[in-house]
Each structure stands twice: as C-alpha cells, then as structure tokens.
Structure 1
C-alpha cells in the first residue's frame, strides 16, 4: 500500500466532504474501494455495493440494535415504543418478518394507486408554486420542495388539518433514529416524546378507519390481507404510517432540490428540458444517479466473506456508499456529467434487492411533477446565490437547506 493510498479514507466529518463528496468518493473507488475505518467496512464500487444489497445474508436490522445500544449507554430506559417503531420498519427488518410486512404493504402501494395520485400531486405543486410566487424572495426548498411531500402524504392519508402542521417537525426529530451513533441523551428523550405524541394523535384515526374504512392510505393498510389471511395489526399500521413520513419527506424534498440545482448549474440541460418536457422523468432518474438524496446505507454481515482480498467477518458493520457506486465508471459512461440523454442504467439511489425502497415510485413521481409544474409555469428560473447550504443534521442524507431563486414568466 502506498503512502498516498493510506491517507485516503472515508471521512464524513470533513467540511469539504459535506460540501462535495464526489471527488472523495472517486479517490476511494480508485485507491481503497474496500477499506476499514470508523469501526466499519466502507464499500464504494458499484459491483460490491450492489452485491451486498442483493445478498440476503447481510442483515438490515442493524439500526434498531444500535438505537437500543445507544439508549443503554445514555441511560435511557423507556425504549419500548421506539424499539417497536424500528422493528416495524420495512427498511430495518429481515426475513421472515420483512416478507410478511412487505407483502401486506405492497397491496397499498401498487403502481395503479401511485399513478392515481397524479392529480393530487399536481394540484398541491401548483398551489405551492402560486403561493411562492407571491413572495418577493423565493426559497424553493422551504416554499415548495419541503411542503410538497407533506401535503401529498397527509392528503393521501386523509389526516385532519390540525395534525398536518405538526407532521414536518415531528418527522425531522424522529429522523435522528436513523443515525443512532450521533444521538445525545437529549435527542433520545426528544424522539421518545415525539413518537409518543405522534402515536397518540394517530390512534383515534386508526380506530375510526378500522370502523369505517375510506379510500385513503391508512384504510388501505388496515384492510390489506394476504392470501393466507394475514393482516396488519392496528399498532403496525400506526407505526408504518409514521415511517412513511420518516422515509418519504426528507428524501423527496432533497430529490426535488438536488434536481433543480443540477439543472440550474447545467443550463444546457435545463434548456434541453424546456424544449423537451418529455425528458422530465429522465431528469429525475439522472438526478438520482448523479446526486442522490440517500448517500449511504448500512448492513451487518452475518457470515465471513472476502472482498478485494479483505476478510469481512460475521458481525462486522458494512457501510455502502450508494452515491459513490452511482458514479462508478465501470457502469456509467462519463459518470461525473449530468446528462438527461444518458442511456438508462440501474442506479442504486433507491437501494436494490428485497430492501429496495417501497416508496421510490411515489418519490420519483412527486419530483417529476414538481419539475414539470415549475417549468410549465415559468419562462425562466435563475439562481440568486452561488453559496449553497447543505444540511448538516445527517450524514446519510444529502440535500439543501435553502435554495433562493427567481421565477419569471407564465404568471
């Protein structure tokens, strides 16, 4: 190993990495694609990352275990509700429980049902854009990208108006559970308070929908049965409802923001999209490859396995750099170029295998409609800053906290 190679290691705490991780990912792929640091193995090549995602002997149940361990270290004893939330999440369950939950939830997230949300999403995006344009200064994150997925999920779930304003802040606090090593005792106590309040608000809604199901998502989950008569319990529906927000808000917001920023920083691609609106779906797919909201995910090895002549032992943690894999030149031609005409290829922004993101079609559809509404109702979108503020509360997510722009035409 050369001295240069030894110096390159995954370091998410570095300020330059937070600003632009992609040169660092490239160095890692080229020099140390499989290496151990910060108590875990870090993988950056497409083949390795995809291989682990596909391999069911790597457990996805690591995060709930880490939450419990962190709570014990911090002296937090009342973790029953938080533990149940983690163990009900599709993201953090292994088979056979994962297969049971997935079979039931899939029945509420069919392609037909997601596509049927187009009018709802379009109406919400149009309304938010109209409201934003009345302001002298538009922050497309706060005014448009952040409230859109909240509005869509709340409407699909038919949640009461008095609850909707609390969803965003509650979800932001619960997201700390996804990175338990960063949580303080205060964070854990706050999450416990929020989850208690969230479940308390949802319980009467669950009871009401159980008695009189409607056409909403919660009713669909409550009335979902497998051929064997298996069904979700009320508590499972309640906790899955919370996880829909945890998994869907920040990622969709960041996808919309990252897509718009990529287009504005590549004006030739933005002009191409205006001339050919049929490329909107391609713009979303290319954003997911080029600058995905979910950058990293973890697995736990359950058996010894060799990668790059390195022995990953059972019980070792493995960090999968999805964003690095999405720019692997062995898979993607000119990977650092943002190109709407790129030939379709399987990016890993939504994961792969049995834990592939259930809400991926909904997130992509919201981003597609958001871009379409923005471009149909304007003749020009222009950045008003070159200093971009990337969120700092999470290491696994990449998204903007603000994006000031000006909107012109088609008012």
Structure 2
C-alpha cells in the first residue's frame, strides 16, 4: 500500500495588484493571502494583509511615511529629470509624507482649521452643490454616478471652501489629475514627469496669487483660516506650506472621495435589500458610508519604510525594507469583522482602516464622509429604485492603490 504524504505547507499565492482580475475584485486574493501568506515578500517589498499587522505598522512611528518623496526623487534621477525642486518640497512638506517632528508641527497647525465643527458647517454647501450637479441628469431620467456626481463634487466643494477665483477653478480638475502621479512614482514615465513638474509650478503660482489676495482681504474661507492659524508660541504656516496643504487637499481627497461615492452606490445596487433599507431609513446614510469604507475602501494600499529591524509573524523586517499594507484586505479580516464579505448597514461600528490609523490618519476623512453621506441621502431620498444600466463595469486603471470606477450609469425612478 502506498502512503501519500500530506504537505501542510499552503500553496504560494501570487500577489499581482496590476492584473485585470485583481482590479475587478481583489478580495478573493486578499483572503488567500491572509490564510496562506499573511506576511510575505514579493515585488521588492513586504506585503501585509491581516488587520492586526496592518494596524500595527500604521500605528508604529518607526515606520516612515516619507518613502514616496524618496521614490519620486529616485525616479526623477533615473529619468534624467533635474528641475524637480518644487515637487521635492511638496513631498517633504506634505502631511501625507512627513514624519515627526515636521508632521506634528504641520498637523498641529492644520488641525486648528480642519475641525469637526468646520466640516459639519459645510453640509448645506455640499448638499447644494450635489443638488445642482444632479438636477439636469435627474430630469433626463438617468445619470452616471461617477461623471455627473462623484467626480465633480469634491472638486467643487474644495473650490468653494477655498473661495477660489473662477479662472483657477476651471483648471483645478485637470491639474489634480496630472499631479496624482506623484502618489505612485513607479508609474511615472519621462513625459509624465515633465508634465507634473509644469503643472505643480502652474498650480503653485495660481495659489500664490490667491494667498496674496487673502492676506490683503481675509475672509471666512479655508485659505484665510490656514493663513491665520497660529500656535500659542506664535508658529504659523509659511505661504508655501499653505499652498502645499491646498494642493494636497485636491490630490489626496479628489480621487478617494469620488471612489468612495461610486463604490458605495455600487454596493447598494448589488444589495437591493440594503438599498431598500436605506430608502426607508435615510438616517442610515452615515452607516452606509462607514460600511462602504470597510467593505470596499477607495484607498486599498499604502506604503511605509521600516527604519529599524523587527519581526512580524516570525518574518524579519529589516531597516530600509519597504512595507505594503493592504487596507482593503485588513477591512475584510474575519478575525475582526463578523461576516466580512457581507455588506450590512446595520453592522456594529468596527475598526476599519480605510482612513489609515495613528498619526497619519486621513486629515480629510470627515469631509469625504460628509460628501458621500450627502450623495447617498440625495439618491435614495429621490428614488424608489436605482438600476445599473450596464453589464460591464469599467474600473479605473491609472492607479493601483485606489479602487474606483470610471463610470457607473444608473437609471433613476422618481419616488414622487
């Protein structure tokens, strides 16, 4: 009799965030990775998929957030791009990419302006913009959630909050689209780099002019408040730091808010029982946003740089190693969330990591939540049924860290 040996070693899972299959649905691969290789090295970095490991890295301040600016500089060198001073300063002085003590200083000043109360006061503004954007599409009986609502809404809200002049508002969207390359420097080609450099200079010059006008005639807008923010010791943001805060509000907040709204509406379309519940109880809009952030978060992946040697799940992470933390995988971890693959508006609030964790928790998270909440309220207050008008979903392919749709055409039926 032949005895067959059993190999307890789980089969190796190939992690490929660039594949079409992963873009369509990354969650089966996340599950395989969590079960077979929760901490493994591939593509020149460590990949983490369990909630506890991801949260631990985000909480541990010895993991640096300054990796992206370094990669931008290295990519510029490889591509022979030398006039990148403004881009390098944008990276070094952006909240997203700074470590302490610079981060603590910048965050302390900016937090004086980005308060929960200040964001809550924007609700009438956000609601008015959403209604204006939807009115024409509503009359036509159909709408593309992405192009008609989710994409223009965050840009319009920020432009209005900053009280930008019309000439600048018209250019902010294209500028933001180009600068987003800086978040994924490995994807930048030579032509892209030249364009990004030029756009950053154009954007900064336009904002310089706005700042000069606000210093002369301050108002209740975001820029005036940033200029006025001051610590007890008298420290203030420099003009360039204010410019960089404003630019990164668009770069970091536009694509993610757009995807949050789109992913949420798609989840509701795919779960008609939850959509019906939201229609009956519009006060669940906030819960719908929270569940979307857990179930299908816009920012799926983010990187950190280890600055010391340490072990994670028995694996030795060395100082200088890059670590990719999979937020989308962590948010479906059954060790933390019951029935993680179900979309449930009545789920008890959990510790999702869609906005990161620790000192680099998303500055604009409250504003993104507000805009998605208003969008869900509007759609499900005005319509008894929303129906998807396509059999083929088109997922964006210009970023591998953000998960979102290029379009989401739906039919609206007026509830009367």
* Superposition TM-score tier, normalisation by shorter sequence: over 0.9
2-side partners of 1:164 and 1:115: how far apart?
A: 23
Cα shift readout 1:190-246 (whole Å, capped 9, x = no counterpart) = 101111111111111000111221100000100000111110011110111100000
Decide whether the 8 Å contact of 2:134 with 2:149 is kept in 1. Answer: yes
Are positions 1:23 and 2:28 aligned together?
yes
The alignment partner of 1:402 has SS state of: coil
Pick one of 184, 187, 192 that aligns with 1:179. Answer: 184
2:212 pairs, out of 207, 210, 219, with 207
Q: Does the Cα contact within 8 Å between 1:251 and 1:293 map onto a contact in 2?
A: yes
TM-score by length of 1: 0.98
Stretches of structure 2 that go unaligned for 5 or more consecutive residues are: 1-5
In 1, the alpha carbon distance for the partners of 2:281 and 2:29 equals: 34
Give the Cα separation in 2 of the matches to 1:14 and 1:287: 23
For 1:20 and 1:242, the matched residues in 2 are separated by: 31
Map of 1:349 onto structure 2 = 354
Q: Which residue of 2 aligns with 1:302?
A: 307
Is the contact made by 1:109 and 1:358 (CA closer than 8 Å) also made in structure 2? yes
What are structure 1's unaligned runs of at least 5 residues?
none
Looking at structure 2, the residues matched to 361 and 290 of structure 1 have their Cα atoms a distance apart, in angstroms, of: 18
**Equivalent runs, 1:71-90 vs 2, <5 Å:** 71-90=76-95
Aligned to 2:117: 112
* Residues 70-121 of structure 1 deviation map (CA, whole Å, 9 limit, x = unaligned): 0000000001010111112101000000000000000110111000001000
Pairs within 5 Å for 1:365-380: 365-380=370-385
Offset at residue 410 of structure 1 (A): 4.5
Equivalent residues of 1:384, 1:406 under 8 A apart: yes
CA contact (8 A) 1:293 1:397 kept: yes
Partner residue in 2 for 1:337: 342
Q: How many residues align?
A: 411
- Partners of 1:235 and 1:373 lie apart in 2 by 38
How far residue 161 of structure 1 moved from its aligned partner, in angstroms, is 1.4
Cα distance between partner residues in 1 of 2:69 and 2:7: 38
Within the alignment, does 1:195 sit opposite 2:172 as a pair?
no
Which residue pairs with 2:394 in the alignment? 389
Report Cα offsets for 1:276-308 as digits up to 9, x if no partner: 111110000000000000000000000001011
Tell me if structure 1 keeps the 8 A contact 2:306–2:321.
yes
Offset at residue 342 of structure 1 (A): 0.5
Secondary structure in structure 2 of the residue aligned to 1:390: coil
Q: Deviations over 1:304-354 (max 9, x none)?
A: 010111100000000000000000000000000000011111100000000
Q: How many angstroms apart in 2 are the aligned matches of 1:378 and 1:176?
A: 37
- In 2, distance between residues paired with 1:177 and 1:134? 39
**How far 1:2 moved relative to its partner?**
5.9
Contact 2:142 2:412 in 1 (8 A): no
Whether 1:59 and 2:60 are equivalent positions in the alignment is no
Q: Is the 8 A contact 2:142 2:409 kept in 1?
A: yes
1:146 aligns with 2:155: no
In 2, Cα distance between equivalents of 1:95 and 1:185: 32
Counterpart for residue 3 of structure 2: none
Correspondence for 1:91: 96
Shift of 1:252: 0.5
Out of 227, 236, 242, which is 2:232 matched to? 227
1:12 to 17, 20, 44: 17
